[in-house]
Amino acid sequence: MSTPPSPADLGHLAARLQQRRDALRLRMTDQLAGVSRAEHAREVLLQDGDDAPQRSSEREVDLALTDIETVELNALDAALQRMAEGRYGLCEDCGTDIPAARLAAEPEASLCIDCQRARERGRAHGASL
């Protein structure tokens, strides 16, 4: 039987989620210099110099990083929303408690281990078709 997080654990997890969210937003703002992803990509391509292939590679890396960071930011926002709604710590697929140890390791987790594995197997199976 899994142990749900205690109220003290929830407070600690909320602080961790918020701290990660704030740090990620700051990093994204710094990386993009306060402009949109499209504007940033355009600026990188229009930089002076004869190093167009290098600028193109830098643009691709920047866009890939912001894609990853956007996915993480969305997961953090969703976890904070579940917490505000009183649904935090419940598996979104089966409704069982997500163990406190899993949430301590991955505070934004929305699935129990069994449901996460099932989804991953489904993706792996679908990808091989």
CA distance 77 to 73: 6
What pLDDT, in 10s, does the model give residues 16-25?
A: 999 999 999 8
What is the pTM (predicted TM-score) of this model? 0.73
Query: Would you list the domain boundaries of the chain?
Result: 7-127
Report, at the CATH architecture level, how domain 7-127 is classified. Answer: Up-down Bundle (1.20)
Which of 124, 87, 84 minimizes the C-alpha distance to 109?
87
What pLDDT, in 10s, does the model give residues 35-76?
A: 666 666 666 666 655 565 666 676 677 777 778 889 999 999
Q: What is the pLDDT of residue 44?
A: 61
Q: How confident is the model at residue 11 (pLDDT cuts 50, 70, 90)?
A: very high
- Burial bucket for residue 4 (CB in 10 Å: 0-12, 13-18, 19+): middle
Q: Judge whether residue 122 has pLDDT over 60.
A: yes
Q: Judge whether residue 127 has pLDDT over 50.
A: no
Q: What is the pLDDT of residue 37?
A: 61
What tokens appear for 123 in the block? 């993706």
Q: How confident is the model at residue 129 (pLDDT cuts 50, 70, 90)?
A: very low
Please check whether residue 61 is in contact with residue 85, taking contact to mean a CB–CB distance below 8 angstroms.
Answer: no
